[in-house]
A and B are shown apart, each in its own frame.
Chain A
Amino acid sequence: MKILVCISKAPDTTSKIAFTSGNTSFDENGVQYIVNPYDEWYALVRALELKETLGGNVTIITVGNAVDESIMRKALAIGADDAVRIDAEPKDAYYTAMQIAAFAKNQSFDLVLVGKETINYNGSQVGGMIAEALELPFVSLASKLDVADNVITLEREIAGGVQVVEVSTPAVISCAKGMAEQRIPNMRGIMAARTRQLTVVPAVEIQELTSYVLYDLPVAKSACKMISPDNMDELVQLLHNEAKVI
């Protein structure tokens, strides 16, 4: 099995979200970056499990700048064999996906895995875009993934339930909760990852189909109205008459 896992950096989940330059860019001041949880916990760990049972090789790829190499080392520490960085600022999902597709095109990966979305842009776009560019089947939001004799068996989320589907390799899969459990890298893995060679690939020319032109923060909620636990009738009346939600 030759597996490509796409990883993205994302601000640590406790980061303060703020913007600079007249609200046109994310304020990175004091922000710690982590591997996007869906990419790490589900896509990467499941890829490693498959390699452990079926043999093969797991390559991680990210589109980013040299400062993003810490997330590549984290992925290596968890167990990836190779790490590739496409040397470019990931402008939008399309730009990112086309860079990865250009790299993957002639490499005959059996599986290309992505997380179901990033926790900063929440677009759920990159996987489907890679699949279309490579003309491969795409299974979105898979919560289980097994491979035997070049047939991939998956559970995928559908409205109000799950579905079991099968598809032959190669394919692109977006990975969601249930597929694997988070792995904490051990000290030996972390030390070994520090000195590993990272592959850097120049970017290809891709047009920017979308641009984020402005950001904004939600207005703070007004104070919470307190209701006595002995007066649930009052709560129901408020929900009906004031909030008008029931």
Chain B
Amino acid sequence: MTLVYIHSENGLSKAAKEVVTYAKKLGDGVSVITNGNTAADVLTQLGEYGASSVMVDRSVSIEDHQQLLDLVVFAAEKTGATTIIFSHDLTAKAIAPRLSVRLNAGLVSGATDVPNESNAIRVNVFSGKAFGFVKVNSAQRIVSLLPNSIQPEITGSVCGVEEINSGAVTGRIKLITTKKPEGEIALPEAELVVSAGRGLKGPENWGMVEDLAKTLGAATACSRPVADIGWRPHHEHVGQTGVAIRPNLYIAAGISGAIQHLAGVNGSKVIVVINTDQEAPFFKAADYGVIGDAFEVLPKLTEAIRKFKAGQN
């Protein structure tokens, strides 16, 4: 049996469908354990992606990693799972390593594919500059799947949902406040990203980056110096020492494409580079390039997207 942990506040995320699809591909039968407020008639749709049953414990909080760990341990024992799957997000980073020690089970974090013919799992190493293939030597294994690595696939029909009480105990970490900027798209999960660097000259010029992002429905990102000088918040910093992202589309304006920057974005499916300097190294990593001034190109691109979207409706 393969056990999948998903969080399901406010419905089923794409990441949740991805991990269930991934588990289904392992071919062992799939049980899902979750918490959160999503109604049973929504959770039942996980069956379409391959789940044979879903267990939900409404009393466990997404914020309490200690409780979540207990919840997953409880479900692993109950199902006798030999593989436990997470989406490689912030929750997985907090609990999967603890679970590895608790169960004495090898952990593969950031998997980008199903196990190959010799049962090794591909992960990104050297900040995306290479792949590694990891084999698990223990009887049980834990895998966290990098978001956007596989596409959700509908292969079945709705499944049963069981309300459970795992008896998970409250952890020792006390939550004081949560600050979540409204309306912004979270960068790590974004499928479209518009990013800008020092070529934008100052924070007052980010309006055109935000306009393009809003028109596209994209998240915004930036290069490291831009976050370091405080033009943009730290959580937007992508690269080897910032967030690593792999959206479907990454648009980079006024970013030179230093090796450390590329390390965080080279998993993107398609890269568009806008730069005044035709020698900018970023063009070597790009699929589409525009040699030009971001101050002129960005508004024009925004306009073209707007026209395109209007034409589609």
Contacts and interface: CB of A to CB of B under 8 A. Distances in A.
A139 B94 CA distance: 7
Contacts of A229: 290-293, 296-297, 300
B216 A209 contact: no
Query: In terms of DSSP, what is the predominant structure of the interface of chain B?
Result: mixed
Nearest to A137: B172
A94 B93 contact: no
B137 A211 contact: yes
B93 A245 contact: no
Contacts, number: 264
A235 B270 CA distance: 12
Nearest to A128: B97
B234 A177 contact: yes
B272 A212 contact: no
A192 interface: no
A184 B293 CA distance: 36
Interface in A75-108: 92-94, 97-98
B34 to A, nearest CB: 16
Contact of B135 (A159, A211, A218, A225): A211
Contact of B188 (A159, A165, A221, A224): A159
Interface string B91-126: 001111110111011111110000000101001111
Interface size class of B (residues with CB under 8 A): 35 or more
Nearest to B267: A218
A158 B270 contact: no
A8 B289 CA distance: 38
A98 B104 CA distance: 11
Contacts of A168: 172
Interface of A: 11, 13-14, 17, 19, 37-38, 41, 92-94, 97-98, 119-129, 131-133, 137-141, 143, 153, 157-168, 174, 177-178, 207-218, 221, 224-230, 232-233, 235-240, 243, 245-246
Closest 3 CB pairs of A and B: A128-B97, A229-B292, A161-B180
